[in-house]
Amino acid sequence: MIRTWLLPVGLMACATPMFFIERDTLDFLPDPVFSLGHIAIFGMLAYVVGRALKRSRMSLLRQAALILTSAFLLGGSIELIQPYFGRTALWSDVWQNMVGAAAGLLLAHPRDLLRSWWALPVLTMLTLELRLPTLLLWDDQVARQQFPLISNFETRFEHLRWSEGVVVADRARSGERSLRVELQPGIRWPGTALRRGIGDWQGYDTFEFSVHHDDGKPMQLTVAIRDREHSRRGAAYRDRFNRRFELEPGWNDISIPVAEIAAAPKERTLDLGDIDTVIFFTGDVKASRTLHLDAVRLSRGPGPGIRPQGQACTGPDPDPQESTTCVADS
């Protein structure tokens, strides 16, 4: 009997630290893979326990009740403890634990459960949970192939790299599509953030993007660029790149020297090989406004047509073939 439970206990003992160490410690794992950790760990645990219980006389229904209840209580306890270790408690993680446990039990009793009415719901839930990580892994590969183009919104799942916005075909600076971001009143810092597919910026000279608005009057846009070390150091304002631009109606083509991005933190150099987030945002808006973002990329060399620093960063509209480029104001 003791030997029967050695494997599940040992498995949980080995897996427990994964729930409490900081994400940056496992930065070699892609985010989509990391996000599947709850399903994988609780799935393996439920499979091992299910195989052990299979030797007993416990009914399949009682086994399912025991395993799923244990997964809920154990997963909930882990989430309650995580904030004390610098992690965030999420009910979605508890849900993934339950889905993983149900899938593990299904694998432990394939013949019995495949004939059961609840096999289809379990497989459906598992498919839904695996869908987004699978798409993210696919888009990660596309992003690597596109780099140093970061986003031009021409591929199917590119919008998944951004926190807000929808890809539209009604306006574009290059190609046929752009990211439309709705700026709503009542939100302190409306905008969008690039969180994936950022790549290694070392060896490049400029970070460039095009942004459009047609409100008829200038508006301000702030760009913030952060590396992973920024979060470890407390996320202070002066420990990141942060610059404001005044946008004229129409397309604005903006070019920021990468050297200035690296030199932005006051007490260190920003790690260009480990950039974590690029944020585009405005201040409070009194009424709904719309931005279109396009042609986000890195380039080597100053490129043609760069204006002296400090001049307006605007390009003509509506002709997307004529492009005026500018360097960010200091």
Q: What pLDDT digit, counting tens, does each position of 159-207 carry?
A: 888 999 999 998 899 889 999 999 888 878 889 999 887 889 999 999 9
- pLDDT per residue over 305-327, tens digit each? 333 333 333 333 333 233 334 44
Stated pTM of the model: 0.72
Burial classification of residue 267, based on how many CB atoms lie within 10 Å of its CB (0-12 exposed, 13-18 middle, 19 or more buried): exposed
How far apart (Å, rounded) are the C-alpha atoms in residues 181 and 49? Answer: 48
Using 70 as the pLDDT threshold, list the residues of the chain that sit under it.
Answer: 1-35, 113-115, 302-330
Instruction: Report pLDDT for 37.
Output: 78
Could you tell me the domains of the chain? 2-142 (no CATH), 149-327 (2.60.120.430)
- For residue 184, CA distances in Å to 89, 170, 252, 287, 291 come to 28, 20, 21, 7, 11
How far apart (Å, rounded) are the C-alpha atoms in residues 127 and 115? Answer: 19
- Tokens for 128, please give them: 């839904």
Instruction: Report pLDDT for 19.
Output: 63
**Helices 119-146 and 37-53: angle between axes, nearest 10 degrees:** 150
Cα(first)–Cα(last) distance of the chain, in Å? 71
